Every structure is written in C-alpha cells, then in structure tokens.
Copies of this chain bind each other. A is one copy, B any other.
Amino acid sequence: MLGLIQERPLLISDALTHAALYHGRTPVVSRRRNGSFYHSSWSELEYRVRRLANALRRAGIGHGDRVATLAWNNHRHVEAYFAITAIGAVCHPINPRLFPEQVAYITRHADDVGLLYDLEYAALAKTVAENCTLRVNVAMCGSDELATGGCADVEAYEDFIAAASDDAAVYAAFDERTAASLCYTSGTTGNPKGVLSTHRALMIHAMVGRTSDLFDLRPASTACAIVPLYHAHASWGLPFAAAMTGCALVLPGLQLDGPSIAETINAFRVTVANGVPTIWNDLVGHLSTAGGSIPSLGRIVVAGSAPAPALVHALENDHKVDVCHIWGMTETGPCGTSGASLWGSESGSNQLARKNKQGHGVFGVQMRISNDKHAHCPWGDEHIGALQVRGPYVVSGYFKQEGAGSVDADGWFNTGDVASIDNDGYLKIVDRDKDLVKSGGEWISSIDVENTAGSFPGVREAAVIAIPHERWGERPLLLVVTADNAKIETDALLDFLSDRLAKWWVPDRIVFVPSLPKTGTGKVMKAELRKQFADAIAVEA
C-alpha cells in the first residue's frame, strides 16, 4: 500500500532556491585570475543562474542535452552547474588536464551541444567545438575580455545572461531520476567511461554531505571547494551541500599552491575544505617554512589516496584540523565512506591508525567484500576481497554502455578495489585489483609497498608492478624515481623495506627510472609500466 504524500521530486534547483530564499545574504566568493576576489551571495548567484538557465533554453538547450564545461572553480562554473541542471539538461564538466585526444573522444561520446569555458582553455574549447555540433558556445568572461582568447562564434558569458529573462518559471519540476551530471572517469586503461548521475542521487548525496559524517556544514560554516568542480560531480557535491545548508562558499580559482590556499582560508575564515593529500602537503609545508596559521579551519575532507600519517599528525596536532578521510569514486556519488566518527573513544595512536583507513559506510551506501571463499565476507582484516557497493547514488551502468555489467543482479557495483573491512566496520583499501601482485597464492598490496618505499629518504616516487615468475606466479618489481641530487643504495632501500614489510612482500628487484608514465590526471599508468618491464624481467626471473 502506498502512502499519501506529495510526489515532489528532489531537484538541484531546490537547493539553490532554498539558499537564495533563506540565506540570500550569505557570501559566495570566487578568486579571480589576478588573485583578487569576486564577492557574490546566494541571492545574487541564484539571480544569475536564473538568467543563465533562461538563456540556455532560449538558445535551444533542452531536457537531456549535454552541455560541457571547461573551467576552474569559480562562481561562473558553479552558476553553470546549477543553470544547466535546472532546465533538465546535463552538465558535463571536462577535466582540462586530459590530453586533447581524450577530450575529443569524450565530447564526441557525450555528444555535447553546448559549451561554457574559461579563457585559459580556449584551445581545448576549439577541440570540443570541432568534435561536436554546438548550439551554445560561451566564454566565461565579460564582453571586454572576450578579445583575449576563444574561437569563432563565441559569446561572452556576461552578454549571454544579460540578454536573458529572469523568469523563475524556468525552475519547472521534472522526474528526480533525470540525468544531471555526466562525469567521465579517467581510467588508467581503455577509454574514459561516462557516469551519468541524477538529481535524486546528487541531492541524497548532498543531504549526507551536510552531516558531520562528511562536510559537517551548518549555516555559519564557510566551505572551500578545492577539489575541482569537474571532479566527481562538482567537487564531491560540496556546492550542492553548501546551498542546501545555506553556508558560505569559497571558490579558490586556479591558485592552489600552499601560500594561496593559506591566504584564501584566512581571508574568509574557511571552516571546512576538501582536497587530495597533495594540497594539504603543500599547505602544511608552506606553513612550516613560512610560518603562519589557519585557525578558522576545523575540518578537511580528504580522498584520492590515503593521507600520510605525518600529514595527519601535522594537521591535527600542529593546526588543530580534524582530518576526515573518505573513500569514493565517481561511480559512488562519490562519497561512499567516512572516517569522521568513532574517534572520540580511541587513544591517539589508534586514532592515527584509523585515519589511515577509509572509514565506514555513510548512510545509504552498503558495502561488502567478496572473494573466492565468501560472496559476502565476514568483517576482519584477514578477509580481503573485491569491494562491492550499492545504494541510492551508486551507478547502475555507464553512459551508452548500459549493458556492460559492472553491476550484478542484486545491484552490487564492483568497484575494482580490493579491500577489507575491520571488526569495527572500517574500510581499508588494499589495492586496485588490477594492480595487486599475486605471489604464491597470496596477495601483495602495491600501494603498501609504494607508500613504504616513498618514506625512504631521497625517494620522490615509487611504483610497484607485478612481473611474471615461474615459481610464485608473480613477484613485485619496484620502480623508483629519485629526488633531485639524491643517491640511493639499492641494498639500503631493500633493508629499509625488509624492516617494515612481510618478508615475501619485499621486491626482488628495484629499478631506478627518470620518470613514471602518467594519465592526464596524474595517475601512474601501471599497464604501460607492465608492458615496458614484463618481458625483460620474466627472462631473468
């Protein structure tokens, strides 16, 4: 029996209009190219979104159309995300760090009919324009700036919205399962795959994002979205959660170096921010050499890779910043787990160990570990297997590859990660399954070996790949890039690893290389390394 409740959809525009209505004077701040700040508010931002939404519709953008963006974290990019989705079109933020051939591939695959781009990315914008038929091509600038870049038939953003109506009827309701955001994953092998998220998924995700499990937002908070808006559905959904809460939002632009981030945090008394460990390493490094403090910052949310214990220690002890380590993928919302809770009852060293894990499932996301022995493993560090998740914001398939089947009949999505869940429910990512080394029937975590090697003085980067071995099946090979001027003795590094790893995890060989091949987003292409090294070593093994 169904209940008697209104069938009102959960739509992204509801978050924006809520912020504008009840928190209209709350600031939205954006850093300009020249380092100065543009000051706006939820009320003003909503007004501009409304005009942009009307402008897009007038220009022929309709329900389901894909509109690409090539932009950094600024107010116009946030406006674009809200306006495109408000009319039922799909925001397709393109990672501008991708290689031009990849941009060409995904814009053709997405079949984009609109584009909004920052002037920095005029060259890539041409690539987009050449690979699809655009009804709208807008440079995100004022008309006076347009001359400085861009390709043919481009309109300046400020002209485009100035000419449009501000009719609020543009926020019409539609099915909450309507596609809203198309983000391509930057896989290390094969072509990028499109994750097509919905209004419902992004709003449920934002409702979880508001809570103390993730961004811990309240109206008095000031959230800084450091993770790019093109990453995993708008900076892990932070602008949506901020609008729903009505807190202040700071967009740091392109200035992501340590000194700039410190300046942005202190200028607006930022209380919470998201970012990958590199950002926080740079910030902590800057503060420790140049001095200074970040007293307003109460929490950071970290993902991408595990923050090093030294980084967590520096942030928590020296700067009193709570480090919330999470795990997720574009395919999982992205935020699938949270390391924010349970720490209160634990002692210092346990807390630090826990922070290196990826936390527990947040409300709505179910997780299980599956391996040869159990379809659904019991909890315990000893049960390592494939991490599978399901929930109301987890993918059911990829765009134009619906039948490809990374989701099983019971709805479990196979993440491609190998992990365990400890007896308190904490997830530990062991490796990507394709990067695991399987030696003598046991698994070796390439991530753990890399992290250990990375802490040896003089090691800049480390990568571990499996190489074939007659007796053990596979053995780990360690590739090392040394820091400038560093000299590393192979035996000293092997001794260091032997002291810290299980005996059979220690690589048989170390190869020093000048650099590691990487994707446009900086991920090491291990498949490429395996091609380079497999044959040579197999002979010697």
Interface, chain A (partner B; CB < 8 A): 1-10, 14-15, 18, 21-23, 63-64, 90, 175, 177-181, 195-201, 204, 207-208, 210-213, 216-220, 244-246, 340-342, 344, 360-361, 363-364, 390-399, 402, 407, 411, 413, 425
Whether the pair B198, A3 counts as a contact (CB closer than 8 A) is yes
Residues on B with C-beta less than 8 A from A199 are 3
Residues on B with C-beta less than 8 A from A6 are 390-392, 394-396, 407, 411, 413
Residues on B with C-beta less than 8 A from A399 are 4
Interface-central residue, A341, A390, A391, by most chain B CB under 10 Å = A341
Whole-angstrom distance between the alpha carbons of A181 and B217 in the complex?
Answer: 30
Whether the pair A22, B392 counts as a contact (CB closer than 8 A) is no
Whether the pair B360, A5 counts as a contact (CB closer than 8 A) is no
Whether the pair A2, B391 counts as a contact (CB closer than 8 A) is no
Out of B7, B175, B208, B393, name the residue touching A5 (CB < 8 Å).
B393
Out of B3, B180, B341, B407, name the residue touching A3 (CB < 8 Å).
B180
Whole-angstrom distance between the alpha carbons of A397 and B341 in the complex?
Answer: 40
Known: A8-B411, A344-B220, A411-B8. A198 touches B2 (CB 8 A): yes
Whether the pair B5, A394 counts as a contact (CB closer than 8 A) is yes
Residues on B with C-beta less than 8 A from A18 are 361, 363-364
Known: A220-B344, A392-B5, A396-B4. A244 touches B197 (CB 8 A): no
Residues on B with C-beta less than 8 A from A246 are 341
Shortest beta-carbon distance from A13 to chain B in Å: 12
Shortest beta-carbon distance from A533 to chain B in Å: 37
Known: A1-B179, A198-B2. A22 touches B220 (CB 8 A): no
Whole-angstrom distance between the alpha carbons of A307 and B385 in the complex?
Answer: 55
Residues on B with C-beta less than 8 A from A197 are 3, 5
Whether the pair A219, B341 counts as a contact (CB closer than 8 A) is yes
Whole-angstrom distance between the alpha carbons of A218 and B211 in the complex?
Answer: 8
Q: Which residue of B lies closest to A207 (CB)?
A: B207
Query: Which 7 pairs show the lowest CB-CB distances between chains A and B?
Result: A1-B64, A3-B198, A212-B218, A3-B179, A219-B341, A207-B207, A22-B360
Residue pairs across A and B with Cβ atoms less than 8 A apart, 14 shown, are A1-B90, A5-B177, A5-B198, A6-B395, A6-B407, A8-B394, A10-B392, A21-B360, A22-B360, A207-B208, A216-B218, A219-B340, A219-B342, A245-B363
Residues on B with C-beta less than 8 A from A9 are 392
Whether the pair B200, A5 counts as a contact (CB closer than 8 A) is yes
Whole-angstrom distance between the alpha carbons of A407 and B8 in the complex?
Answer: 13
Shortest beta-carbon distance from A103 to chain B in Å: 22
Residues on B with C-beta less than 8 A from A181 are 3
Shortest beta-carbon distance from A332 to chain B in Å: 10
New A-B pairs, 20, CB < 8 Å, besides A3-B197, A21-B360, A219-B340: A1-B64, A2-B177, A2-B198, A3-B196, A3-B198, A4-B195, A4-B396, A5-B198, A5-B395, A8-B390, A8-B392, A8-B411, A10-B204, A18-B364, A21-B361, A22-B341, A207-B207, A207-B363, A211-B217, A220-B344
Known: A212-B219, A425-B22. A201 touches B390 (CB 8 A): no
Residues on B with C-beta less than 8 A from A21 are 360-361, 425
Out of B4, B179, B344, B392, name the residue touching A398 (CB < 8 Å).
B4
Copies in the complex: 2
Shortest beta-carbon distance from A220 to chain B in Å: 5
Out of B3, B393, B396, name the residue touching A201 (CB < 8 Å).
B3
Whether the pair A4, B212 counts as a contact (CB closer than 8 A) is no
Q: Which residue of B lies closest to A392 (CB)?
A: B8
Whole-angstrom distance between the alpha carbons of A244 and B210 in the complex?
Answer: 13
Whole-angstrom distance between the alpha carbons of A536 and B216 in the complex?
Answer: 60
Residues on B with C-beta less than 8 A from A413 are 6
Whole-angstrom distance between the alpha carbons of A63 and B1 in the complex?
Answer: 7
Q: Which residue of B lies closest to A219 (CB)?
A: B341
Residues on B with C-beta less than 8 A from A391 are 6, 8
Shortest beta-carbon distance from A25 to chain B in Å: 9
Residues on B with C-beta less than 8 A from A177 are 2-3, 5, 7
Residues on B with C-beta less than 8 A from A5 are 177, 196-198, 200-201, 392-396
Interface-central residue, A8, A200, A220, A399, by most chain B CB under 10 Å = A8
Residues on B with C-beta less than 8 A from A196 are 3-5
Whole-angstrom distance between the alpha carbons of A199 and B398 in the complex?
Answer: 29
Shortest beta-carbon distance from A209 to chain B in Å: 11
Q: Which residue of B lies closest to A216 (CB)?
A: B218
Shortest beta-carbon distance from A413 to chain B in Å: 7
Whole-angstrom distance between the alpha carbons of A287 and B4 in the complex?
Answer: 43
Q: Which residue of B lies closest to A246 (CB)?
A: B341
Q: Which residue of B lies closest to A389 (CB)?
A: B6
Whether the pair B361, A2 counts as a contact (CB closer than 8 A) is no
Q: Which residue of B lies closest to A411 (CB)?
A: B6
Residues on B with C-beta less than 8 A from A397 are 4
Residues on B with C-beta less than 8 A from A217 are 211-212
Whole-angstrom distance between the alpha carbons of A14 and B366 in the complex?
Answer: 9
Whole-angstrom distance between the alpha carbons of A391 and B14 in the complex?
Answer: 10
Known: A178-B3, A392-B8, A396-B7. A363 touches B15 (CB 8 A): yes
